[in-house]
Chain A
Amino acid sequence: MNTLEGLVTQIQGLSSTASDVSSLQNFLKKADDSLHAESTRLLAFLDQLDPSKHSLGYLYFLEACTAGPVTKEQASSFVLIISRFISSCVAEQIRLAPDKFTSVCKRFKDQVLLLEEPLRGVAPLLTAIRKLQSSTEHLTTLHPAFLLLCLLAKCYKTGLSILEEDILEVDQPRELFLYCYYGGMICIGQKRFQKALELLHNVVTAPMSTDNAIAVEAYKKYILVSLIHHGQFSTSLPKYASTVAQRNLKNLCQPYVELANSYSDGKIADLETFVQANKEKFENDSNLGLVKQVVSSMYKHNIQRLTQTYLTLSLQDIANIVQLTSLKEAEMHVLQMIQDGEIYAMINQKDGMVRFLEDHEQYKTCEMIDCIDSSIQRLMTLSKKLTVMDELMSCDPLYLAKAGRERHRYDFEDLDNVPQRFNI
């Protein structure tokens, strides 16, 4: 009893200056076990603390009292308390105990899921991420949790705001896998296939030492999105992908690879029968929707290919070549694609002819110049980052020791400036 009350007064007293807070941090660390032991009584004390002033203390109390299993009723009250805490806490204080903070946030996510109201968690978690991360390049453990909630709540747009930031620093490989996988799904939901491909590609090619369920699922989606977006898929992974991925992924995604093969033959009917035959498998992976998009994308790609070869083509011919059943359907497809800006064409309804035009972008407008300029700027910052990273790497004693040791295994000239033996 005394200790808890004493602790509360300590927290109230030691929450103003930075040095105070760090001594409080030590103090709280020691008291952590006893806090956990008394977790049931802590809820009452929370009212005596102000989350916006005593963030660190509040965090410790909150973490301790949410540690046990919760019922639905408790969950709804906790959700309120935690979301209020997240929105009002002070970033500097909570960063002193990031693991406490993330575990509170993760429990918050679990509770929101328990209540089946993922939407309630989206905004607080976004705030939490912002408060926790030191820079936007930093991937926190909260990223995947946030994206998961976005996915479940179907608010893809909010998710995209996080995905647009480049992530370069990673705490936990697993977080990255999940982040990229969920991110890929959100981008698919928004039909931003290019970005989705990039994220999924990151998962598939990430260094890994064992098979990885996330990578397998990501690879399945990667195949499908690649077919939708590019109309083709090359089964060989790039050289930098881990050997595990190169060896096993294909075997684990057999129906998908076969789908890609059947796609490349360009016969709609075959593709459809294949999809029908394997419908169950795709459904079990809950990828059936994407697979259907793959099938319909085939029409698009076939029509797009026609624009490369023909200047004019009758709708009847288009229907025949693309294997559509009727003239009307062909017209609808072409019309839709013109609207989406995927092809440039005009339909002459009198003769039933389609006239394909060239891309009318002339690269002369100010907007285009701006676009190019911003691209160049981006690339310059990126290559600067690359240089910095390279320099850091070549000064890293661990790396140098390893490179020196394995020198005989590689016969690169690049390694000539690496000393034979490296003593630290």
Chain B
Amino acid sequence: MEGVEDASNPMMEEMYVNGIGGVDEAPSSSTSTTTRKNRPIISGEQLDIEAYAGLYTGRTKIMRLIFIADHCDNPGMQLEALRMAYDEIKKGENTQLFREVVQKMDGRSGPNYSMDATWCSMVDRKAEQRKEKLENELNAYRTNLIKESIRMGYNDFGDFYYSHGALGDAFKSFIRTRDYCTTSKHIIQMCLSAILVSIEMGQFTHVTSYVSKAEQTPEALDPPTVAKLRCAAGLAHLEAKKYKLAARKFLEVGPELGNLYSEVIAPQDVATYGGLCALASFDRTELKNKVIDNINFRNFLELVPEVRELINDFYSSHYASCLEYLGNLKSNLMLDIHLHDHVETLYDQIRNKALIQYTHPFVSVDMRMMADAFKTSVAGLEKELEALITDNQIQARIDSHNKILYARHADQRNATFQRVLQTGNEFDRDVRAMLLRANLLKHDYNLRASRKL
């Protein structure tokens, strides 16, 4: 029945000896006869859904499971994800999601996972009653004008709506508590609730604004809260494709996070998101200082050894193995609810970075060796290099005859002359055009004025 083999131990990890047969330095074009053998790389296997789902709680767990079901092509895996989502929803009160999941399963998982109409109507009825009760309570509080009680009332409403999947109403209720907050602790609670709902809604602009609101509270925040806010800000930046800022935020997440924020993000995610964003956007020194030498972040990286390895490989210029790790991780990352949109871009950027870094120290590079190092063909490499040169990311030119890449050191003097002449011409042209336009305007204006007189 089960299409997936039993999960292999997720923590199975191999200690890598860095560089077999002598530590190899950065590849040099003349003598880079790399003696490294192919290291075995794990985690190419299919995502272990159970272990994955175990990292999360609450609504995000359900949403992630549904996301996996929607985006993977393996029917066994789909069903497994849906079944787990089904079980998880049954624990909660969200009947709408329940119906969705049942519809998606379409009776493929037997009678145990069929439409449970009685459960639905029971939950809905209970919800009605609870809503009425909450409304009565809130009205009572409001007539009594007890601030704290009103706040609690709205908070309860928010929780109620959230658990029933009415995210918009939940957001509104949480925001309403704002007027009744008396201490900064309340404000932070309000912000965190708002952030949680906004992330679920995919409204990342709200996330940013509430993160900054929370950070502005006068009292010092406790470390877990800080870590949570960093995560939320990182997610918002990631969603806005600001990878560098996202990387910075994720790197600042403190070890206090633990599993405290499992309703949004797991520490493993912090490592993956942060690591990939950093690789794609940081330069070498920043990578070294902020990622590799970052003791905080190292703890996170230990959770995802593949990412740790690939960052180290990247830094020590073992691009082939780095890219291999990336390739293996890709299918799983594509199933991540936050990262899947960005995987392609990040991968492209990382690959380009690697190419640029490889060529950087040399005056001339043998393209055959470079192709070897990147596990690609010379023709393919030539295409990639061409694109990068056209984009002005590598200052070099290709000797296609001998398959050698020559660095190009721009002649500053000539370039300056060229630029000066060009700027002069542009200025000349612009000023003349401007004078002409001014004259026209003046003419037009005079005409109108004289007509008026």
Residues of chain A touching chain B, judged by Cβ–Cβ distance below 8 Å, are 166-171, 173, 176, 198, 201-202, 205-207, 240, 305, 308-314, 317, 351, 353, 356, 358-359, 361-363, 368, 371-372, 375-376, 378-379, 382-383, 385-386, 389, 393, 396, 398-399, 402
Contacts and interface: CB of A to CB of B under 8 A. Distances in A.
Contacts of A402: 445
Contact of A361 (B406, B414, B436, B439): B414
Contacts of B401: 312-314, 351, 353
Contacts of B390: 305, 308-309
A405 to B, nearest CB: 13
Contacts of A358: 411
B400, B427, B428, most chain A CB atoms within 10 A: B400
Nearest to B441: A207
A311 B397 contact: yes
A385 B385 CA distance: 48
Given A312-B400, A314-B401, A353-B401, A378 B435 contact: no
Given A308-B389, A386-B435, A402-B445, 18 more contacts: A168-B439, A173-B443, A176-B436, A201-B433, A205-B433, A206-B440, A240-B437, A308-B390, A309-B385, A310-B400, A311-B397, A363-B417, A372-B417, A375-B424, A375-B425, A379-B427, A382-B432, A389-B438
Contacts of A310: 386, 397-400
Closest 5 CB pairs of A and B: A312-B401, A363-B417, A311-B399, A309-B389, A313-B400
Given A170-B440, A363-B413, A379-B427, A309 B435 contact: no
A198 B414 contact: no
A305 B427 CA distance: 26
Contacts of B439: 168-170
22 contacts: A168-B436, A169-B439, A170-B439, A202-B436, A205-B433, A207-B437, A207-B441, A240-B437, A305-B390, A308-B390, A309-B397, A310-B397, A310-B400, A311-B406, A312-B399, A363-B414, A371-B421, A375-B428, A379-B424, A379-B428, A386-B431, A389-B438
Given A311-B398, A363-B413, A379-B428, A398 B435 contact: no
A363 to B, nearest CB: 4
Contacts of A206: 436-437, 440
A198 B399 contact: no
B11 interface: no
A142 B390 CA distance: 48
B36 to A, nearest CB: 31
A375 B420 CA distance: 10
A308 B392 CA distance: 9
B385, B417, B440, B445, most chain A CB atoms within 10 A: B440
Contact of B402 (A198, A312, A396): A312
A168 B444 contact: no
Nearest to B388: A309
Contacts of B434: 240, 386
B429 interface: yes
